[in-house]
Amino acid sequence: MKEFKAGFVGLIGQPNAGKSSFLNRFVAEKVAAVTPKPQTTRRRVLGIVTNEDTQTVFVDAPGLVKTSTGINPFLFSELQSVMEESDVLIAVLSLDTETPEMVDEILDMVAYKKKPWCVFINKTDLQEKAHRLGKIIEKVELRQGKYFVGTCSHDEGIPKSEILSFCRENLPTNPGPLYDKDIFTPHTMRELSVEIVREKCFEFLDKELPYQLAVRIIKFDETEAIPHISFEILVSKETHKGIVIGKAGATLKKIGTEARQEIEKMMGSKVFLQFHVAIRPLWMKNTQMMEELGYVITPK
């Protein structure tokens, strides 16, 4: 009988490299928010793949952001914590990364940790960027890393078995799984519901506004025949409130409709959603509010 292996695999990369899509493809469920906009991921998200002798816990970290404004210090702190606490690191790179220096920076970060690591080169279906693949591979080989190539745009685009084999080789031996073998994420329905609503805000709101808002649940009642969930969307300005609501409530209705459909699919039942858009000036600078939203930055 094989020894059991279990541990954490941190997904590290630039914003919009495809880490969240990578995670969702592996667990075959919608766990992490995915939008075309960078920095959609705000806190670590866990997805679990379990078989008879291995439990691989993928941890999607926020993308690398170094600026010190708004919520960015929390994002950087989350990224650093994921790297420190993971047993294995996977650098998710993309052919459409803006500059070669960004690729070097991510590779140096994971290699510097002196942990088992590999690279997944994403978006290899971008024909106009195909010439970059060889250059990225050269950078990986220069650091003596192992790499896999593919695309997260469809299920067959990722060499799952090869990546899982690499993870198993490098995960620690454990007496058994770290989480119940039947679950694909430890996150609660409440947490996943908030992420779905925030994802829809990213999809339907333009420019910088999605980065200026937060979402929290103020009621989650499953005692009714149809569960009732009430969300509060926090914005910092009166003008932002109007944009979120939209003309005659059209934008908020689109956000709500799309969110309801995904939450119903996740919960396997009809749900009733309510939304309230609240103005909280400078919420990102309010320590108590940041703590309530889960964006806690541990003092150093």
Residue range 285-298, pLDDT digits in tens: 777 777 777 765 44
DSSP state of 111: H
Strand partners of residue 166: none
Q: Where in the chain is the domain with CATH 3.40.50.300?
A: 5-170
- The pTM (predicted TM-score) of the whole model is 0.85
Backbone conformation region of residue 153, classed left if phi is above 0, alpha if psi is from -120 to 50, else beta: alpha
pLDDT at 159 over 90: yes
Among 13-22, 115-124, 159-168, whose mean pLDDT is lowest? 13-22
- Per CATH, which fold does 189-292 belong to? GMP Synthetase; Chain A, domain 3 (3.30.300)
pLDDT at 276 over 70: yes
Q: Which helix (H) or strand (E) holds 264?
A: helix 250-267
DSSP state of 39: T
Taking the mean position of all CA atoms in its chain, how far away is CA 145? 24
CB neighbours (10 Å) of residue 174?
A: 14
pLDDT at 300 over 50: no
Task: Report pLDDT for 299.
Answer: 42
More confident residue, 17 or 200: 200
pLDDT, average across residues 27-48: 69
Superfamily of domain 5-170: P-loop containing nucleotide triphosphate hydrolases (3.40.50.300)
Tokens of 199: 């994802």
Residues in CB range of 180: below 8 A, 6 or more apart:
none
Of 218, 91, 95, 252, nearest in space to 163 by CA: 91
pLDDT band at 61, cuts 50/70/90? Answer: confident
Q: Where in the chain is the domain with CATH 3.30.300.20?
A: 189-292
Task: Report pLDDT for 255.
Answer: 95
